[in-house]
Amino acid sequence: MATTYEIIDSITLGSDQASVTFSAIPATFTDLKVVFSTRTNRANAIDGLGFYFNGDTTAARYTSKVLIGNGSSALSNSANPSNDEGIFTTGDGSTANTFGNSEIYIPNYAGSNQKSSSIDSVGEYNATTVRMNIAGTLYNQTTAISSITFIPITGTTILTNSTFYLYGISNA
C-alpha cells in the first residue's frame, strides 16, 4: 500500500526566532498539512500567528473568514492570515509552559489554481478561559507553494521549544 501521509520535515526551536520558514517544499504531493505547537514572547495570554506563502507578504493577496470562540461568546469576522489573527497561539503572559496548537491544511498546493487553506487553532492557557478559531483562507496567486513562513503577530519572536511539522498528503 502506498504511503499517503508522509512527514516532509519538522523543527523544534532551540532558540527564539522571529520567523520559521519551510523552504524548497517538494511539489510531489497532492496536499500539505502543517501541525504546530507554539508560544510567542507577547506579554499577554494570547497572540496570533501569521503565515505567508512563497515569501509573498503582500497583504492584499490574502483573505480569511474566521469563527472565534472563547468559552463564553462566539463571533465571526474577516481577517488577513498574513498579518492578522488567522491563527491563535499562546503568548508569554499565559500559564508557564503552555503552548497553542494549530493545523493548516492546504489542498492542491502545487496546482495552478488560487490556493485555499483551512485552519483550526487554539491558544491554550491551562486556565479558566481559552481562545480558539476555525478559518478558511485564500491566497489569490496561482504559483505552486514552495515555501511557508510563520510569524508572530504582536509578539516579535516565536519561543524556544515551539514545534512545527510539515506533512505531505498523497491521494494515491
Partner 1 sequence: MTTKLIVDCSTGITTEVELTAEEIAEREAMAAEYAVQKAQEEAEAAAKAEAKAQLLDRLGITEEEAQLLLS
Select 119 or 153, whichever has its Cβ closest to partner 1. Answer: 153
CB nearer to partner 1: give 20 or 87: 20
Residues 122/124/130/132 CA torsion (nearest 10 deg):
0
CB of 16 to partner 1, least distance (A): 8
Nearer to partner 1, 48 or 123 (CB): 48
Find the radius of gyration of the CA atoms of the chain: 16
CB of 156 to partner 1, least distance (A): 7
Residue recorded with cell 463571533:
75
Q: Minimal distance in Å, beta carbon 21 to partner 1?
A: 5
Tell me whether strands 148-152 and 46-53 are parallel, antiparallel or unpaired: antiparallel
Provide the minimum distance between the beta carbon of 131 and partner 1 in the complex, in angstroms, as a whole number. 13
CB of 109 to partner 1, least distance (A): 12
Task: Report CA-CA distances (Å) from 6 to 3, 153, 168.
Answer: 7, 29, 5
Burial of 28 (0-12, 13-18, 19+ CB in 10 A): exposed
Q: Strand 74-79 vs strand 62-69: parallel, antiparallel, or unpaired?
A: antiparallel
Question: In the complex with partner 1, which residue's Cβ is closer, 10 or 96?
Answer: 10
Asked if residue 167 lies in contact with residue 47, where contact means CB atoms within 8 angstroms, the answer is no
Of residues 126 and 147, the one with the C-beta less far from partner 1: 147
Tell me which residues touch partner 1 (CB under 8 A). 8-9, 11, 13, 15, 17-26, 48, 50, 57, 83-84, 151, 153-154, 156-157, 164, 166
